[in-house]
Amino acid sequence: MDLTKTTANGRVAAYELLLHALNHEHTKDNYERHVLVLEKWCRETIEGLFICDLTYVVEVLQIIRERIALHPVLFTPVMVLLLKNCAQPLLESKANERMRPIGMDNIKSLYAELAMLWQDGSICMRTECARCFRVIVNGGKDPSILKADQVEWKSDGHTAQVTDISFIQGLLRESGALTAIVDEFRKSVDELLAEKARYLKLSTTLSELQTRNATSQEEDSDDDVSKTGNNSNRADRNDASGASTPNTAMGGSFENDLVDKIQSMKGDLIALQELIHVLIDLCLKLSTDTKNAASMCGMFVCDIAIKLLRDAATESPREPKVPICVEILWNCLESYLNQSMYYSNTLQSGLTSIDVMDFDVAIRSLRDVFLQLLMEGYRLADKDVRNEVVVLLTLIANFPGSIPYFLESGLLGDLVTYSCVGEAGKEGWGFFSCPLAKFRNFVSAFDVDIQLKKELWMLLSDILKFDDPDMIMCVASSPLVAVMLNYLEQTGQPGNTGIVNESTSLNGTDAGSQRSSTRPSMTLVDVPNFSDQNQTDDQFVEESEIDDSSVQMAAPAQVRELQILSIAFLAENAHRLMGEFMRIDGPIRIIEIILRYGSSSSTNNRSIIFHSLVLLNRCLLTSNVVKPKLVERKAIEVFLIQFESSEDESIRAQAARVMSIMCIDSVECQTQMRKLKGIRALTSTLSSYADSRRPNMGLNPASTDTEMESSGAGEGNMGDLSILAVAVLDCLWNSVAGNRKNEARFAQQEGIDALLDVIEVAPLLIRVQALRLLGDLLNNFRLVAFALAWRSAKTMRSAGQLFAHAWVEEENRLNSERNNGIICNLWDPLGSHRWPTDRPTPMAQSEISGNASTSTQSVSGVSVSSLVSKLTSAVASNRNQTTGGATGGGGGNAGLPPEVNANLLKLDVRGIIANALALLGLLNEFNNESPSVTQTLHIPEVDENGEEEDVNFSLADGPGKEPGGVKDDSLTPSDLQVISMAARYGVLREGQWWQQIFDELHSEGIVPVEADAYLISQKLEKLFEAARSVQFEQMELKDVAHKQKQAQEEIFIGHIIQQKNQQLKSEFLKKKAQNAKVHLTTKVKLTS
């Protein structure tokens, strides 16, 4: 009967009967009957096995495996039939039966039992087992059968096939079958290589023996018997020939044995080759699953693939196994490295620190294959495999342990050679690897050869990231950087590809001469417009004769791709190759490239400009010789043009960053910024940033949670962190702060107002930066009046109120909230003032970048607990913004590294706020300092001729030479409570440090000497006195606030009473008027 069409109970009975026939004591030795029964069972289950019956199938497999060990001839054919049935898709009689735990356990048990067949099995059985697994991982389809010959399975409506490949591969991994497959692959490859070595040795021995016998026969044939010879000589020859006959017979027998042995080894080699063929297909299919590929990489399958690749490439680089091994390596390494996407940086570095292969053998083998394909590979398929080998090397370069072998094996020289020899020519560098491959094999305009060049550049960039001095020297001494700059200076005209023939050098002359010596000297104003189509190519690139017979010309799109990759490579590595980059006038040529492409709106051109600015940024930070060259060429104007004209925020941010670096300790650059109206451009950018955002701080620091929710403070479109705003603030810091003329111009352009607007709406990182910049600017007492005169356009807050609210928000972020605005813990006035029953929890780093409504953080030894108010929810939102992603694209958002986030959250901004309040003179009321007043501010103005002239601005109520005694009537008692703490912030902070020292000494059991103990007690006493003074002042201010609130309530109630009295009076007058009217009517009636 057909078990696939039998009910579940019928199948159970049939399996029990089958097991009874195989295990019964009276029939267990009747092996011929067992074979017949098993063959019949295999015919009945030819369409597949049910998942619910797999427990019986596993028992049958175990019995057959035992029988094969005793009678392999009888039971091996039966096992082959059963393996074919097991390879068919499994059948489920119930919906989603495969997803149930019992069903999954049954399937995994089957796969584990099938994998046991590789243990102590013959080559034939191992091959059949490999075929079975190959069909299983393909969802039940045999890849060796044509699709036209495959019969489609038809369901009867009650059963379904399990053909989900990802599900099957997952079970293979969990069952341990994947490990068994990799072990069998390793074992089979080792056997194949050993068998090949023995076969080669025997073949060599046989060849030498046959050569020796042939030589002996030739010598015998030369000694012909002379017809005139005497009989004695003939007898002697007969004796000699008779004596040699046994040796000849012995040699022939040995030779025949060798031939027989070699023939038998040929059969074994063919069987092993077939097994390897099936296993390599199986591993290739398994490596398509990401998790399986990563697991296989951890099982060192890459070493096995490298062995097989090296063996196959020894025969021929076009061996079909070569691309398959390369693909397996690619899949495994890529999946292994992609695991780092789900882990932190620590675990990612841990993954790459593991040696997943023998890097020495792997790199040397891949180098041999790469060079073989370069020398012999002219077909498109050969070039594809060659490019894949370079991709493999790029993946291997992610492992730090592999980097030394790139240099030791000589591969680095080969990579540098073939990355630029096509453009530089054979004579362009004296250290090109020899012999060189034919240029037609790697230098052409075909996409596959262009792709090779791009992959080589990317691989070299990955290698240079490790900053190995020998590798940097190898790349820096080559013409690679000059070749890339030549690509960037292409005019886009047809026929100018930069590719030359084999005998042409880079410059057409001596390759060692400087690039700028043969190029016409040129200033920035001499650079022709990129849109000018009449310019000649030799203004930027020395033309070389192109051998059109061997090299086709690259298309403009291909040149553009190489230009983008060139500038990306230089942006990443030019600061490492600074000597060569400066030798060929790299910075000046980059400025020319920025001018060339600056007027274009193309996406590719914007990418070139962006990476050019990044390149100059890194070079300025790395070397001190770049800045003087740029200052000499007045490059500030170029960067300002890009900042003002570009619509891409990332380009504007990079331009601002480069200008900021150039203005550091450079009065000349700061003067250029002022004369070129750069301060105005930066200020307008800050104003635009502030105008597009809503206030990011609570409007009333004394509000309760309910009041904050009703007012909606802290809500709004806060967006992501803008890297443009960060760069602009940094540029203003370096170009304006400290330069009195620039500070005056900044104030004239309403820069102080823009800075305060930014503080009101910005997230935490930008707010801290703006506060620090404002603190430096307010050291110029002439600018204090501008800050005091500021009023927010959104909330009408003054600068004092803004700083007070920022203080309260910082207290909420640091978990240092004051109850009713009053400090309670006099020994820790800057810490938490909550009741001790509130238990804080430590903050996880992952919560910094997530939804941090319940985030906590330890700051300055103070533990931080949950944030519950609406104000602190806004702070948590700011915390998310500090981790917003920065892309180099048009979004202009910045992704901060985790260490920056951690340092930012540990920062206590209250010191910066206290400094700003002190510079505004708002703290002097608590310090009892006398005020002074000034009226005039001198601001230099630049006329049309570029000369400076003074312009006077009169301020009615400005602070004096030393600002003090300023009274802000808009400050509420709650704001004054903050200012009371800010006035003594230095004493409170210093006292807390001494308190921490005292606690540490006490916890460690250390008794200080008398002088130190006296000093500590004196500092703590000073802390206590300052905290007590602050507490008294805050309590008084609370009473003032309470009285003000009562007064407001009395006024409110008075207004209500007044309105009620007016209403009663109006009702009385109305009623009186009605009564008078009625009386008059009655009187008229009586008169009539």
Report for 226-235, 337-346, 938-947: range of highest mean pLDDT: 337-346
Compute the distance between CA of residue 298 and CA of residue 293 in angstroms, rounded to an integer.
Answer: 9
pLDDT of residue 927: 61
Give residue 341's pLDDT band: very low, low, confident or very high (50, 70, 90). low
Element (H, E) at 955: strand 948-959
Contact between residue 732 and residue 658 where contact means Cβ atoms under 8 Å apart: no
Residues of the chain above pLDDT 70, percent: 77
Mean local confidence (pLDDT), 677-692: 93
pLDDT of residue 594: 92
Q: Which residues pair with 937 in a beta bridge?
A: 953
Mean local confidence (pLDDT), 567-588: 93
Span of 146-160, 439-453, 766-780 with lowest mean pLDDT:
146-160
Contact between residue 674 and residue 745 where contact means Cβ atoms under 8 Å apart: yes
Separation of CA 585 from chain center:
32
pLDDT tens across 613-669, in order?
999 999 999 989 999 999 998 899 999 999 999 988 999 999 999 999 999 999 999
Is it the case that residue 164 has pLDDT exceeding 60? Answer: yes
Which residue is associated with the tokens 């931080």?
864
Compute the distance between CA of residue 98 and CA of residue 92 in angstroms, rounded to an integer.
Answer: 7
- Which residue type does 369 have? V
Give residue 866's pLDDT band: very low, low, confident or very high (50, 70, 90). very low
Is it the case that residue 1044 has pLDDT exceeding 80? Answer: yes
Compute the distance between CA of residue 791 and CA of residue 693 in angstroms, rounded to an integer.
Answer: 17
Residue closest to 867 by CA, chosen among 878, 852, 882: 852
pLDDT of residue 69: 86
Please, what is the average pLDDT of the chain?
A: 78
Query: 3-class SS at 886?
Result: coil
Mean local confidence (pLDDT), 1024-1040: 86
Residues of the chain above pLDDT 90, percent: 38
Write the Ramachandran bin of 233: left for phi over 0, alpha for psi from -120 to 50, otherwise beta.
alpha
Contact between residue 451 and residue 387 where contact means Cβ atoms under 8 Å apart: yes
Compute the distance between CA of residue 601 and CA of residue 576 in angstroms, rounded to an integer.
Answer: 31
Compute the distance between CA of residue 1063 and CA of residue 429 in angstroms, rounded to an integer.
Answer: 103
Give residue 192's pLDDT band: very low, low, confident or very high (50, 70, 90). very high
Give residue 533's pLDDT band: very low, low, confident or very high (50, 70, 90). very low
Mean local confidence (pLDDT), 315-330: 93
pLDDT of residue 506: 32
Write the Ramachandran bin of 851: left for phi over 0, alpha for psi from -120 to 50, otherwise beta.
beta
- What predicted TM-score, i.e. pTM, was given to this entire model? 0.76
CB atoms within 10 A of CB 638: 23
Which residue is associated with the tokens 């009076």?
1065
Which of residues 157 and 855 earns the better pLDDT score? 157
Mean local confidence (pLDDT), 318-334: 94
Span of 223-237, 639-653, 723-737, 865-879 with lowest mean pLDDT:
865-879
Is it the case that residue 712 has pLDDT exceeding 80? Answer: no
Is it the case that residue 244 has pLDDT exceeding 60? Answer: no
Compute the distance between CA of residue 456 and CA of residue 443 in angstroms, rounded to an integer.
Answer: 13
Question: Per residue in 247-268, is it b (16+ CB within 10 Å) or e — as a string?
Answer: eeeeeeeebeebeeebeebeee
Query: 3-class SS at 120?
Result: coil
Which of residues 305 and 528 earns the better pLDDT score? 305
Mean local confidence (pLDDT), 216-233: 56
Separation of CA 179 from chain center:
31
Separation of CA 28 from chain center:
64
Is it the case that residue 362 has pLDDT exceeding 70? Answer: yes
Cβ-based neighbours of 103, under 8 Å, separated by 6 or more: 51, 52, 92, 97
Query: 3-class SS at 429?
Result: coil
